[in-house]
Amino acid sequence: MKNKATLLKVLRYIRRYMPLIVLSTVLAALTVAGTLSIPLIVGNAIDLLVPRNGSSSPDLGGIFTYLLRAGIIAAVTALLQWIMNVINNRIAFDVVRDIRSDAFEHIENLPLSYLDTVSSGDIVSRVISDADQFADGLLLGFSQLFTGVVTIFGTLIFMLTLDPLITLAVIVLTPVSLLAAKFIASHTYSMCRKRSETLGEQTAYIDEMIGNAKTVKAFCREDEAQEKFEEINARLEKYSLKATFYSSLTNPVTRFINALVYAAVGVFGALSAINGGITVGALSCFLSYANQYTKPFNEISGVVTELQNALACAGRLFELIEREPQTPEPADAHELTDVQGSIKAEDVSFSYTPDRKLIEHLDLDITPGQKIAIVGPTGCGKTTFINLLMRFYDVTGGAISADGHDIRSVTRHSLRSSYGMVLQDTILISGTVRDNIRMGRPDATDEEIIAAAKAAHAHSFIKRLPDKYDTVIGEDGGNLSQGQKQLLCISRIMLCLPPMLILDEATSSIDTRTELKIQDAFTKLMKGRTSFIVAHRLSTIRDADMILVMNNGSIIEQGRHDDLLAAGGFYANLYNSQFSE
């Protein structure tokens, strides 16, 4: 049933190219008609080898005419077949392109709760490897399935016109091929699906190990990593061998059945020729048709096997495409414009999993332009609160408002573009340094980009790069240090100048001297802008307008630095612990 459902989904994509499919089917019919007419012409030529009407020599003129006709038909048939293959390639790769595009577009709309729990390697494997496998199977299906089916019916019609009795012997043996194909296809599908799933697991593991190579080496985990890889690789080998075993049954089984059909035609045809039922030329023609009749069964069995693999891969793609997307925006979603920066949280509750509470009954009222620091022990909910502000996750209870609008009633684009965000983990894209700084403002001029880099104190190291602002870096930052990567991220914010800022340990990887300069630049940038600062070094947030002290998902204290120290509570203990021996 699952296989059938996947096939129906594939057909919905194929249906868009119905005119090309009709044209391909017509060309397949013409190709088969041309191919099947050649044995008939050759059979007539063979019959002319026997002298007739008292003549002592064969009719060479008639034979030449028949052979010339066969040659012309063969040439036209070859041309039509080439055109058909071009069309089939176009259909197959366009369908895969559409599915890939839908998959990538859907990834963009998937909630972070899904992306945080699924390995990126598995998603990449589905969009790249599974789509390639699907394309190969689909192309083989278009190339051979149409032609094979038309050949079978066309050959039967031609054979029926020659001798219905011999044709009946061929038809009786046909179900054997169908039963063999069904057996092979059912077993191949399950193995191909397991192979695709294991390949995705292996891709994810390789991606993880390469991305964390330094950590693996630092903790001497090479042997354990190799051991786990060998286990996954062994499973992939097992499923691949089983899939190959079942698919490899196709050729010998169908060839055996083909031999039975050919032998039956030979025996019945010879007996009919001896009794004068058909001529020697007709028998030659019939044997050729018998061979052409059985050949498509061999090809179709192989195609069915490949299609099982293709459908297994397509099924994994559709699983991704059909994943529940992020909560859609309401039709009357409001666009945040001229943002002032007032934020209000009313009785907000949130948890990543229902059985583990995190934030409960959080209330907060922030006026425009305030500088808010969020502090607390690891796991208390600081970054989670930032995720809720940006609507990376939706609250499970209560509401968060921006400028008086519930953030669930405004467009995500207008909400997120109102924030400038610098995280402890640097996020860079593959491209030039200029592309990375310009990410938030694609229309920025080179002068504005350089000014932003200077404000972030990144200009000096950029000028030392081989191609300066045109230096190409990878998504991991290439040979840049962690501090230099963070300076590029800060440069983005200096360029965008958003109405609200979120700084999550924004200077954690920067040396103290540069940090002091950037803190000064941040102070100027934050003036008049609502700013949220997540900090572990509490000495950096002493001038905050309000410090929110979080623990176990709740705000347990709030106020200015001096007031909280004087209160001698949780914040005072947290602050003083930084200076204890």
The domain spans of the chain are 97-321, 343-579
> What confidence category does residue 452 fall into, taking pLDDT thresholds of 50, 70 and 90?
confident
- Which sign does the torsion angle of CA 104, 107, 108, 109 carry? positive
Closest CA to 278 of 153, 159, 152, 151: 159
Q: What is the pLDDT of residue 499?
A: 82
Whether residue 242 is predicted with pLDDT greater than 60 in this model: the reply is: yes
Two tokens, residue 314: 């397509």
* Contact (Cβ atoms closer than 8 angstroms) between residue 324 and residue 117: no
CA distance 240 to 236: 6
Under CATH, which architecture does the 97-321 domain have? Up-down Bundle (1.20)
Closest CA to 438 of 426, 455, 452, 424: 452
Whether residue 356 is predicted with pLDDT greater than 80 in this model: the reply is: no
Q: What is the pLDDT of residue 508?
A: 62
Mean predicted confidence (pLDDT) in 400-414: 82
> What confidence category does residue 301 fall into, taking pLDDT thresholds of 50, 70 and 90?
low
457 C-beta neighbours (distance < 10 Å), count: 20
Mean predicted confidence (pLDDT) in 46-60: 61
DSSP 550: E
Instruction: For residue range 471-501, list pLDDT tens digits in order.
Output: 887 766 667 777 777 788 888 888 887 888 8
Q: What is the pLDDT of residue 54?
A: 53
Closest CA to 547 of 527, 566, 534, 561: 561
Bigger pLDDT: 170 or 126? Answer: 126
Q: What is the pLDDT of residue 476?
A: 65
Residues forming a β-bridge with 419? 500
Q: What is the pLDDT of residue 507?
A: 65
pTM given for the model: 0.63
- Residue 230 contacts by C-beta under 8 Å, 6 or more apart in sequence? none
Q: Hunting for tokens 């089917």 — which residue is that?
A: 25
* Contact (Cβ atoms closer than 8 angstroms) between residue 372 and residue 543: no
CA atoms within 13 A on the CB side of 462: 27
Instruction: For residue range 499-551, list pLDDT tens digits in order.
Output: 888 887 766 666 677 667 677 777 777 777 888 888 766 666 777 888 888 77
- Residue 488 contacts by C-beta under 8 Å, 6 or more apart in sequence? 426, 428, 433, 436, 437, 456, 458, 477, 480
Whether residue 399 is predicted with pLDDT greater than 80 in this model: the reply is: yes
Closest CA to 125 of 195, 76, 51, 176: 195
Q: What is the pLDDT of residue 539?
A: 64
The one-letter amino acid code at 319 reads E
DSSP 372: E
Whether residue 172 is predicted with pLDDT greater than 80 in this model: the reply is: no
DSSP 509: T
Angle between the 222-248 and 280-321 helix axes, to the nearest 10 degrees? 150
Bigger pLDDT: 410 or 253? Answer: 410
Q: What is the pLDDT of residue 277?
A: 64
Burial profile 346-367: b = 16 or more Cβ within 10 angstroms, e = fewer: bebebbeeeeeebbbebebebe
Share of the chain above pLDDT 90, in %: 0
Bigger pLDDT: 309 or 335? Answer: 335
> What confidence category does residue 383 fall into, taking pLDDT thresholds of 50, 70 and 90?
confident
Mean predicted confidence (pLDDT) in 107-124: 75
Whether residue 148 is predicted with pLDDT greater than 70 in this model: the reply is: yes
Domains 97-321 and 343-579 share a fold: no
User: Angle at CA 193, nearest 5°, toward 192 and 197?
Assistant: 115
Residue 405 backbone phi and psi in degrees, to 5:
-110, 130
Mean predicted confidence (pLDDT) in 124-151: 73
CA distance 420 to 410: 18
Share of the chain above pLDDT 70, in %: 78
Bigger pLDDT: 226 or 288? Answer: 226
Bigger pLDDT: 3 or 157? Answer: 157
Q: What is the pLDDT of residue 529?
A: 80
CA distance 533 to 435: 26
Average pLDDT, the chain: 76
Mean predicted confidence (pLDDT) in 383-408: 82
- Residue 359 contacts by C-beta under 8 Å, 6 or more apart in sequence? 348, 349, 350, 351, 381, 384, 385, 388, 553, 554
Q: What is the pLDDT of residue 506?
A: 63
> What confidence category does residue 173 fall into, taking pLDDT thresholds of 50, 70 and 90?
low
Helices (H) and strands (E) in the chain, counts: 21, 12
Max mean pLDDT among 35-39, 194-198, 210-214 falls in 194-198
Domain covering 343-579 assigned CATH 3.40.50.2300 in the classification: no
Whether residue 432 is predicted with pLDDT greater than 80 in this model: the reply is: yes
Pairing, β 371-375 against β 546-551: parallel
